[in-house]
Amino acid sequence: MRGALAQVMNWFGAPARPRAPDRAGQVLFDDRPPASPPTRRRLDPEPLPPPPARWPEAKLRVIGAIWGEGFLGPGGAQEALTLAKPLGLNQTHSVLNLGAGLGGATRALAVESGAWVTGYETDPDLARAAQALSEKHKIEKKAEVKHLDLANPQIRKGYYHHALALEALWRIPDKASVIAALVGGVKPQGQVVLTDLALGAPSPSAERAFNAWAQLEGVAPCLTGEKATTALLAKEGLDIRICEDITARHISQTVTAWAAFVEELKRDRPSRPFAIQVVAEAERCMRRIDLLRTGRLRLLRWHAIRR
C-alpha cells in the first residue's frame, strides 16, 4: 500500500493541506457504554452534474477513478452486495441505506436485487449529487437518495423491510438520535447490517496520528469503541447476532484499488488539478491504513434483527 501511494506522491509532490475541521481536527474518543474486484476505469470520467461546492470537480473525478462511480471508498458494488447478502433482497422489499454518500451502494442494491432502496446522506451536497446520478441512470425512483438532517433526523417509521448503514456514524457526535431514526424506520423482525469505524486498543500516543488523519478527512471524527456502539444498537431494540472485524478485508480492497489505479496513472498521466487531488486522496488513505494496520482503528460489521 505504502509503495503504491508513495510512488504517487513522489510523482506529483506533497498536497496542499486542507482547511482544518471546525474542531481543529480534534478527534473525540468515547468507549464508555452510553447513558442512553475492481474494473478498469478512465482516469477522467465525466463529472457529476452539477459538481457540489464542497466537492470540487477534480476531487470527484479522482474519487470516481479510484473507487468507481458513486463510491467514496473501497469495495464498490461487490462489497455492498456482499454486505446485503444476508438480507435476501428481492423486488418486494424496501431498503433503507444510511450513509449513502454518492449513492453507489444504493443503486447497486436496487439494480441487482430489484428492491426499492432509499439512501439517506447527512452531507446535503453529496445527497444532491447522488440523486443526480440516480436520475442520470434513470433509476431515481428505485434508488432515491435523500438528505438526512442531523439536527432532526426523520425517517419514515416502520416502513422499511431491512436497512444497511455503511460507515454512517463515525462522523456524527449524536449517534443515539441517528440510530434511533435508523432502527425506527425498520419493520419488526427486519434485519439491520451496519459497518462503522471504531476505536481499537487505547493508545494516548496515537493522538497525533488520529489528528493528522482527521485533517485530511476534513471532518472531526467522533469515534467510539465496539462496546459503546453495540450498546447503542441494543438500546434501540436490536438483537445483535454478529459483530465482526472486517478491517483486513477493507485494507485488502484499498490496496487492490490503488494498485490498479497506479497502473492507469503509468499509462495516462493526468492533468495538474487531477494530480493534486490524487496526492491528497493518497495521503488520506495512507493515514487511515496506518491506523487500521496498527489496530488503533478498526472497521466492524454488525448484523442484527429488530425485535
For the whole model, what pTM was predicted? 0.85
pLDDT tens readout for residues 186-225: 999 999 999 999 999 877 778 889 999 999 988 889 999 9
pLDDT tens readout for residues 138-180: 999 999 999 999 999 999 999 999 999 999 999 999 999 999 9
Listed as ranges, residues in the chain with pLDDT below 70 are 1-53
Domains of the chain: 2-306 (3.40.50.150)
HEC states along the chain?
CHHHHHHHHHHHCCCCCCCCCCCCCCCEEECCCCCCCCCCCCCCCCCCCCCCCCCCHHHHHHHHHHHCCCCCCCCHHHHHHHHHHHHCCCCCCEEEEECCCCCHHHHHHHHHHCCEEEEEECCHHHHHHHHHHHHHCCCCCCEEEEECCCCCCCCCCCCECEEEEECCCCCCCCHHHHHHHHHHCECCCCEEEEEEEEECCCCHHHHHHHHHHHHHHCCCCEEECHHHHHHHHHHCCEEEEEEEECHHHHHHHHHHHHHHHHHHHHHCCCCHHHHHHHHHHHHHHHHHHHHHHCCCEEEEEEEEEEC
